[in-house]
Chain A
């Protein structure tokens, strides 16, 4: 079942020790779940879950002109971000479609770009082909491990291992610190909507880092969680996933990422996006909750009064709400009003209500602590 050629993260042995079910995820051998996705998704909202996201790509962009180079390829304004802060951003193609979404960590010496595993090579090629003289693009993915500690109890765990200097970080900020004489980068961020931290380390120290986080130093049980729970949690939080809510043919305006597009700076395909903005996008990303019980999945058609008005992009059972929820692209006119639609599932129609997302109130930290 498991192909020997699958790439393994530095935590592969830990997954086996914890009896994970391993699946092939875009060429990576990754845990889909340990005890079960529903339990893991509940634990993360109530306690503390540990996710291996080492398959993500880490690309360093540096050199004179690195800021201008990245600014020209992305719609969010990186120049507005101070050192030690991170920003959600997009790499756009010439037609305003999304090559990938990314997190940019602004460091004094460079820009640390974290991209999706499935898009890493595509992004790397895109950057290398376009980079001007003096800008270096370095792929650090192969020797970087990434652990995401997520949930309301995460701060306690981080405090017990790294102390207050790290545990006092505000949301979307990061610091670098030493761990066993190796530099690791820790940010207060994540893909679950809960409070949490993301830890980037060199492969050599990765298993020691896993041990330190799961050592139960502070009476918080740290539970390993798989990709299944990660997907449930990001849908509950209303976060887009590449290949579902984002791709090269969906504009970020349709994906309801208007807040990422800063028209007061220049970037690739700005004119095209501005045009869409003025005319208003044809479709919009919305959330929905099933009224009739059934599992909505990507690609299912959505009807209103017998006419197709949209398509499901993601769906799941939410163990934290005990409801079937999802996201969809819906024709503009229908997305403006909340309403009841029909979703076609195996030839039958099931009622769903169009809603806003996130589907639950998120525990992530929003406030900037004073004096820090």
Chain B
């Protein structure tokens, strides 16, 4: 199950853990990504907290955690090769994995159809 936030992050939920990244729409808006800095292992975040920063050739953007939980894995590869996010935002460009602490957070997120409509409405 993949859920989406209004600030253009995705969460791929697998049991009580979730992989988190930014959406393909977000990477296309940012342009070439040149720097990524995320929370580190063991950090705990609440839904909406800053999870890190992505810098593109255009600007610095904060990543907001779509879910509350503890960071249990960090994708080292995107720190050395930030362009992975441009190339594969929804897969190889994942940022962190968290252990979900509050499943109710999911109610505040969108499914794929809702997110698609949300992006279309934002683009106008």
Q: Take A295-B55, A346-B53 as given contacts and tell me if A37 and B32 are in contact as well, using a CB distance cutoff of 8 Å.
A: yes
Q: Number of B interface residues at 8 Å Cβ cutoff, please give it.
A: 13
Is B31 touching A32 in the complex (CB atoms < 8 A)? yes
> Inside 8 A of A36's CB, which chain B residues have their CB?
31-32, 86
A312 within 8 Å of B (CB atoms): no
B residues 26-78 with Cβ under 8 Å of A?
31-32, 34-35, 37, 53, 55, 57-58, 60
Is B57 touching A297 in the complex (CB atoms < 8 A)? no
B1 within 8 Å of A (CB atoms): no
> Inside 8 A of A316's CB, which chain B residues have their CB?
57
C-alpha spacing A317/B34, complex, angstroms: 7
Q: Take A32-B58, A228-B58, A295-B55 as given contacts and tell me if A37 and B35 are in contact as well, using a CB distance cutoff of 8 Å.
A: no
Minimal Cβ-Cβ distance residue in A for B55:
A295
Is B35 touching A295 in the complex (CB atoms < 8 A)? yes
Minimal Cβ-Cβ distance residue in A for B62:
A346
> What 1/0 flags go to A214-233 for Cβ under 8 Å of B?
00000000000000100010
> What 1/0 flags go to A1-31 for Cβ under 8 Å of B?
1000000000000000000010000000000
> Inside 8 A of A324's CB, which chain B residues have their CB?
34-35
Is B35 touching A33 in the complex (CB atoms < 8 A)? no
Minimal Cβ-Cβ distance residue in A for B28:
A21
**Minimal beta-carbon separation of A149 from chain B (angstroms):** 22
Is A295 touching B34 in the complex (CB atoms < 8 A)? yes
> Inside 8 A of B58's CB, which chain A residues have their CB?
32, 37, 228
A38 within 8 Å of B (CB atoms): yes
Minimal Cβ-Cβ distance residue in B for A316:
B57
Is A37 touching B53 in the complex (CB atoms < 8 A)? no
C-alpha spacing A32/B60, complex, angstroms: 16
> Inside 8 A of A294's CB, which chain B residues have their CB?
35, 37, 55
Of the A-B pairs whose beta carbons lie under 8 Å apart in the complex, a sample of 10, sorted by A's number, is A21-B31, A32-B31, A38-B32, A38-B57, A293-B35, A295-B34, A295-B60, A297-B60, A317-B34, A324-B34
